[in-house]
Amino acid sequence: MKHSYIPPYGHACCPHCKSEFDLVDAMPTVVEKLPHNDTAIYMMCPECHAAYQAAEKASRKSMAHQCFANSKRADLAQDGCIYPFAVTSMLTMELNDFDPVAAIENGHGLTREQYFGICSGTHDFCVFPGGLTIVAAKPTTSGAA
């Protein structure tokens, strides 16, 4: 993925207004259930987050839709590259000890097969102290004789 630029560590772009912000104190603003059994987490900049929290239901829906549209259509910057949006998933958060900065900066580090295997329930994972993650396929038989 070619980003429009690489922001400093711990920063990303708001999926609503596209402004760069510091993720250190960011809180999840909008969550979206994904069809492959994971949850997308959108973190907005402090201004958009505050506006979202104070908004009426219709305005919240409109703001969330803007986030979904910006990130899903891979909205392009003027140079034709993709914005580095503050969007992650629940599985990625779990693999990064629920640290949003680490989740967005590091991603999940899994292959596509491992990621979708965990989401579908055919694979399991274990994260050891220090960050070592083991992903293994679950047995396909019940073990009954």
pLDDT tens track for 24-45: 888 899 999 988 889 999 999 9
Whether 27 and 49 have beta carbons less than 8 Å apart is answered as yes
Q: Residue ranges per domain, the chain?
A: 11-108, 110-145
**Per-residue model confidence as pLDDT tens digits over 122-145:** 777 777 777 677 777 776 655 554
Read off the pTM. Answer: 0.76
- Residue 91 has a CB neighbour count (10 Å cut-off) of 19
Cα distance between residue 130 and residue 97, in whole Å = 11
For the chain, percent of residues with pLDDT exceeding 90: 30
